[in-house]
Structure 1
């Protein structure tokens, strides 16, 4: 049953506070070499997008063949946002001469170091607006009978402050599903989401060059979608069948793009993986402007009249050093996002496209571990009530304590994690399902393999801490996460193959299906029912109507949410 208008407004007012939490999951590494230019004559060109030499609107590219298919790495999809183009809307890439090598990843956008493999060092490189294309080998269809393949455009996670398109290698996924997959870099942190002078008079500010929208990372994503529309046919892809997808901040990007009028027509479907946290809420313009002013002062540019020019002269290292402690979420109230995503879903202005949306059953364990056990300070039973009060306030904290008693969980940390995961991910995903169900097909899933190996960054910690089906864990069932093979057992490999089929069938334009498995439920006809993804020994994949009850969503939908302090 849909919520009443009053209940929605009350819940939304409480939940908006949760949007202030930016989930920083990955950070930076040393920049990789950019592709070099080779002055070679074009050869081995396939007119059906089956070769390693392809032509784009900016020039020729030479990729490479692999055991899985073809890949083209480090392709610039826009002019690099350096110098005077810092905090400017992305512009089409400039043409090049000859054949550009596309066999190495481009630079990662400006970000700090983190615990993820390959991200041990910060990145200070701004020339990072590149994408990567993975395509199956030519199927050698008779001349004139080649059918372009559907396209998946993947947006990486990292709290909108970290990560890169190279975080997944989807070559096996592309081969198994018969799709072309594109992974994208986009501007992060202050470089991608600074809002400042000119927000109150957008038109004149644009004309004067002083407009700082706070949405450059999101506009980069749209520029990548326009590049796909113009060029993906050269790689064998179908420009009319593009699905945008992402996990965590990448999923949040998808639910934001669904609500953006400037993205309409650039895709035909969306996949949101653990991305509906905070109901996808953006910062309001006045809030973002105030944060921009505070950031400029912290960065050494206190005069509002000259702050933007001053900031453009600062090295990337200085911008990165000053961005900590601020919320770098998208901004609502302008051309890109006139209203909050939740409002766009409910008032009918959001894109009317099919959506696959879900979360993991134990999302909160990653964040609770990072806050407590990972710091060498496991939460004790005596500390637990106080931690809930600090997070939720006295009144709501008391209700959470009653609904999440330590006695029902493996430890106080796990009890806290259950509350956080339900609040931030599980229940917000179900609310998004309800909001979108009037716009078109919405298919709901929950990744529930509690035996799943922790993803690479926390794998060692998983030997002593039970993460269950935590945040990010499902990514390794679909792609090579960080390019690495994951230690899946036989049952988990079977589940991974089924998940690839589910995702692939959706990208091809149908309901999510897998051989011999239940179809993901459409919320228009089966509201509240969710496809639970589990290994065979845990009961196998099944459609469940109990997910909302299991995650105490009656509490969170009524009370709203407050942000967790998850470092």
Structure 2
């Protein structure tokens, strides 16, 4: 997390969790990037063999849907093409098998199931297409951008079979370059290309969207009705694409799940990248790029552990912080749905302290508050005293949940000034936690007993689709909530409005009331006469629940 240091450092601290930036975006016309007229949408493909721009692909038939996996949307970005904009896919003859996922993009190991070992593959720019049986011609399309801190994850983490069957929408999941391979920002790279140095992973996402624009009609989808959606780092990418001039015309709606609208400055990205080059050992080479491109991916991943690299402002594709764009209205004005879980930061307190066997102490709590909130630290410590919590970790989670929620409220407000904005909080606090935590809880007493404080970061994804290949032990009320949430998301993908039949009315966000949709399950007695149900409702309690008046006062 970034650390705040000025007398009004709360604003800087907020940037670490998505605070809105300042500045001006100069819109750039990008219609020339769209080649020709939109293809006419067709019905569900009559065959598992579909022709794409690069050649034919053969998918697989599943119960209730068909899938085409591992379709390349850009060329292999390894070797001389490392740190270059995505290149066109070489065409192929015959029929390419599309029944297995492509390689994940290079990344270090992590705690998620399936990621126990590092991945060193770079030929990874592929996507997956899921089409429900009986899809109508011109079905809405959802392109999902996975999370993972811009350093991990893959499109295959998301299994959307329930979503496509219930909504009739087509879902596309994508891979994109990660870590230093995706976001290195060096002067040498800026000399090579001005199209977004430091943001090759984000340019990959645009290449995938252009593939969708040119090919999805052959799978039954409508290229004029594409929703981009993502969670965490993927949600941040959605906001980046909202502000990117070169993404114009590639989507009609946007969904931001537990994410921010913030890119670090070009100078910060360049400083990170310079440190990374030193960690690799290429800083003294006569040709830095040649040295980096000759270094094995495994060595780059090892260096990344010492010196990480994140996306940054730069180039024609990402000329300004997206927070600037949403403040000034200079972004692609499409309907937006966005929200968070009710204990976003509970996951990170556990991950950074208790999971590592070093629970936060009182001294560390004070140190973290002071380093994060600077001149406002005394006020924060007084508002969140250790005496009010069972552990320092719970106090830190409460502080971070408050500041993060204030940032979200700022984003709700900024977007609602320009576009229809549907805000929510996933408030099903009794939910089984997402796959990685759920698996840990089966073997670890620490994980079982940890007070997460409610629904944490990622907990909501299992209600939309099977995440990380796991089916979680939801009760019947939670399954009803899942069905309701899929209905909301499906309606939004269809026409930019989540409202539909048999669901509570969801108003657009109005900062004067602060009303948003609280998504939660009922607590129906198993032996009672009432059927299981969702208990979602519009509430004005978000500000009080997260103590937002206090956080607003710090920035006054």
Sort the TM-score into its range (normalised by shorter chain): 0.7 to 0.9
Distance in structure 2 (CA, Å) of the matches to 1:132 and 1:179? 14
* 1:465 counterpart residue number: 450
1:385 deviates by 3.5
1:382 deviates by 6.8
* 1:550 counterpart residue number: 545
Does 458-467 or 364-373 show the bigger shift?
Answer: 458-467
1:514 deviates by 5.3
1:306 pairs with 2:279: no
* 1:115 counterpart residue number: 111
Equivalent residue runs for 1:141-290 within 5 Å? 146-198=136-188, 205-206=192-193, 213-276=197-260, 280-290=261-271
Distance 1:193 1:527, change over 3 A: farther
Distance in structure 1 (CA, Å) of the matches to 2:10 and 2:420? 24
Equivalent residue runs for 1:276-355 within 5 Å? 276=260, 280-303=261-284, 306-355=287-336
Distance in structure 1 (CA, Å) of the matches to 2:392 and 2:275? 37
1:98 pairs with 2:114: no
Partner of residue 486 from structure 2, selected from 500, 505, 509: 500
Contact 2:244 2:318 in 1 (8 A): yes
* 1:400 counterpart residue number: 380
Distance 1:305 1:16, change over 3 A: farther
1:47 deviates by 6.8
* 1:481 counterpart residue number: 467
Aligned residue for 2:305, secondary structure, equals coil
1:218 deviates by 0.2
* 1:432 counterpart residue number: 411
* 1:58 counterpart residue number: 54
1:69 pairs with 2:53: no
Distance 1:257 1:438, change over 3 A: same
* 2:396 counterpart residue number: 416
Does 232-241 or 504-513 show the bigger shift?
Answer: 504-513
Aligned residue for 1:484, secondary structure, equals coil
* 2:342 counterpart residue number: 361
Contact 1:351 1:439 in 2 (8 A): no
* 2:531 counterpart residue number: none
Q: List runs of 5+ in structure 2 lacking aligned partners.
A: 1-7, 20-41, 442-446, 525-533
Distance in structure 2 (CA, Å) of the matches to 1:558 and 1:317? 47
TM-score by length of 1: 0.85
Partner of residue 528 from structure 1, selected from 514, 527, 541: 514
**Cα displacement string for residues 145-171 of structure 1 (whole angstroms, at most 9, x for unaligned residues):** x53100000000000000000111001
Aligned residue for 1:324, secondary structure, equals helix
* 2:505 counterpart residue number: 519
Distance 1:212 1:49, change over 3 A: same
1:129 pairs with 2:125: yes
Distance 1:167 1:560, change over 3 A: farther
Contact 1:363 1:421 in 2 (8 A): yes
Distance in structure 2 (CA, Å) of the matches to 1:71 and 1:482? 17
TM-score by length of 2: 0.87
Partner of residue 77 from structure 2, selected from 81, 89, 95: 81
1:540 pairs with 2:535: yes
**Cα displacement string for residues 386-418 of structure 1 (whole angstroms, at most 9, x for unaligned residues):** 44334434x433222222234544533222112
Does 156-165 or 11-20 show the bigger shift?
Answer: 11-20
